[in-house]
């Protein structure tokens, strides 16, 4: 088997090439990330795998410039994306969802037509895989954030077959996965709607397995269910919960959970995530979904700590689907300036930590507790990041108010 890439930073693991060619397999590397590898014995040297790769086809394997505050203000005046803060009126669904429960409404809309929904679901052995569901009950497995990179398997091929049968398909995934699907299909399909997620980056599967193994050792049973974002203690201060086959149950606040601390401090993300070409605008999906962190500051009075979705409507198709659902949601019009201030990953990826390589090497011999002690210094880097984010939010909020005030004055002058 030979590598399909020159640098690991150039491969997002979208799997488009492996879906297109049976000579390519996605295999796990030593850090716990999947990469395509080619079997030279069965390769015909047609070169189509490179044409199907969105990073190569779109010339994304380069250092790029991400939007700054001035760019965001210009984008806010240019039309798409339309930005909203919203949540599902069904409080039971909202409670089970990571943020506002809007994904379920979009998915149910497609299922009602006899269509299919493709999303990431955890299997019984806690492997994250993209699956297709065609029932409301099946959506349960797709709700909520799962902080891993899903195995796409043959999902692109199944979607292509469904579209050729004129069935509607709703695909949701990370921006690079949406880009991979679009590149694999090679053409637009009226029956396909895509939704990309505001992505912090995908952490190492090896680190997650280490985390599960350590937890199983602590509780004396096999982990059978994980919730990365349990809102029992609130949306903003969520917990990670694990159920074990011996009846034990663990519930750990996010800022005390070892896996979440390592993930949120950006120590164990996929190499391509630190320079992701899809973590920007224009977004890859017809609709973008994320958490509207800090919505109470951006839009005072609407944060009840039960979850609010940040929604970017990026295309006419997305706008049409979203408008059909407004009767089932509480919707507040927002704007890109405020949305980006509350969730900066809309327009730029996280920065790589200089210690990342050393961390990944040490992860083979140190426990997670030892890794945290060595690489997350006191005061907690997470708390420092939170404080810095609050400061940035305050600054951009002031800019947003000035921008909106000037826009309002300009509109009044035209009336």
Taking alpha carbons only, the member of 5, 347, 13 closest to residue 173 is 13
Both structure tokens of 212: 């599960």
**Does the pLDDT at position 414 exceed 90?**
no
Beta-carbon contacts of 213 under 8 Å, excluding residues fewer than 6 positions away, are none
- The pLDDT, as a whole number, for residue 398 is 55
* pLDDT tens figures, 188-215: 899 999 999 999 999 999 999 999 999 9
Beta-carbon contacts of 58 under 8 Å, excluding residues fewer than 6 positions away, are 179, 277
- The pLDDT, as a whole number, for residue 60 is 56
Q: Phi and psi (nearest 5°) for 10?
A: -90, 0
**Does the pLDDT at position 269 exceed 90?**
yes
Do residues 238 and 257 touch, judged by C-beta distance below 8 A? Answer: no
CB-count exposure of residue 141 (10 Å: 0-12, 13-18, 19+): middle
Class of domain 2-57: alpha beta
**Does the pLDDT at position 404 exceed 60?**
no
- The pLDDT, as a whole number, for residue 409 is 44
Domain ranges of the chain: 2-57, 69-415
* pLDDT tens figures, 99-123: 999 999 999 999 999 999 999 999 9
- The pLDDT, as a whole number, for residue 223 is 97
Angle at 294 between CA 80 and CA 106, to 5 degrees: 50
- The pLDDT, as a whole number, for residue 4 is 63
For the chain, give me the number of helices (H) and strands (E)? 16, 14
- The pLDDT, as a whole number, for residue 195 is 98
Radius of gyration of the chain, Cα coordinates, nearest whole angstrom? 21
What's the pTM value of the predicted model, to 2 decimals?
0.88
- The pLDDT, as a whole number, for residue 333 is 95
Do residues 117 and 107 touch, judged by C-beta distance below 8 A? Answer: yes
């Amino acid at each position: 088997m030979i590598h399909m890439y020159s640098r690991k930073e150039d491969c997002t693991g979208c799997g488009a090439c492996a879906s297109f060619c049976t000579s390519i397999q996605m295999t796990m590397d030593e850090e716990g990330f999947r990469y395509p590898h080619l079997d030279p014995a069965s390769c015909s040297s047609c070169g189509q795998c490179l044409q199907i790769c969105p990073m190569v086809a779109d010339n994304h394997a380069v250092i790029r410039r991400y939007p700054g505050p001035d760019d965001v203000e210009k984008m806010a005046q240019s039309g798409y994306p339309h930005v909203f803060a919203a949540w599902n009126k069904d409080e039971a669904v909202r409670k089970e969802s990571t943020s506002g429960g809007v994904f379920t409404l979009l998915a149910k809309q497609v299922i009602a037509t006899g269509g299919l929904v493709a999303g990431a679901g955890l299997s019984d052995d806690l492997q994250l895989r993209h699956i297709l569901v065609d029932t409301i009950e099946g959506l349960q497995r797709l709700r909520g954030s799962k902080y891993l990179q899903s195995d796409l398997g043959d999902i692109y091929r199944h979607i292509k077959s469904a579209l050729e049968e004129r069935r509607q398909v709703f695909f949701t995934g990370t921006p690079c996965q949406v880009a991979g699907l679009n590149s694999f299909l090679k053409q637009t399909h009226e029956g396909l709607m895509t939704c990309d997620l505001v992505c912090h980056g995908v952490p190492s599967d090896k680190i997650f397995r280490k985390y599960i193994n350590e937890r199983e050792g602590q509780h004396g049973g096999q982990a059978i269910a994980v919730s990365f974002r349990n809102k029992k203690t609130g949306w903003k201060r969520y917990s990670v919960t694990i159920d074990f086959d011996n009846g034990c149950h663990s519930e750990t606040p996010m800022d005390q959970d070892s896996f979440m601390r390592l993930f949120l401090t950006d120590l164990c993300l996929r190499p391509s995530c630190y320079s992701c070409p899809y973590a920007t605008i224009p977004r890859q999906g017809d609709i973008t979904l994320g958490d509207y962190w800090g919505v109470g500051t951006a839009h005072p009075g609407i944060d009840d700590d039960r979850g609010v979705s940040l929604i970017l409507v990026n295309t006419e198709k997305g706008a049409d689907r979203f408008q059909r659902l407004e009767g089932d949601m509480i919707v507040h019009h927002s704007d890109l300036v405020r949305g980006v201030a509350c969730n900066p990953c809309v327009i730029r990826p996280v920065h790589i930590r200089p210690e990342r390589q050393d961390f990944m090497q040490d992860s083979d011999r140190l426990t997670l507790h030892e890794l945290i002690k060595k690489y997350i210094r006191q005061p907690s880097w997470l708390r420092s990041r939170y404080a810095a984010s609050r400061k940035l939010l305050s600054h951009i909020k002031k800019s947003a108010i000035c921008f909106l005030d000037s826009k309002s004055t300009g509109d009044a002058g035209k009336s």
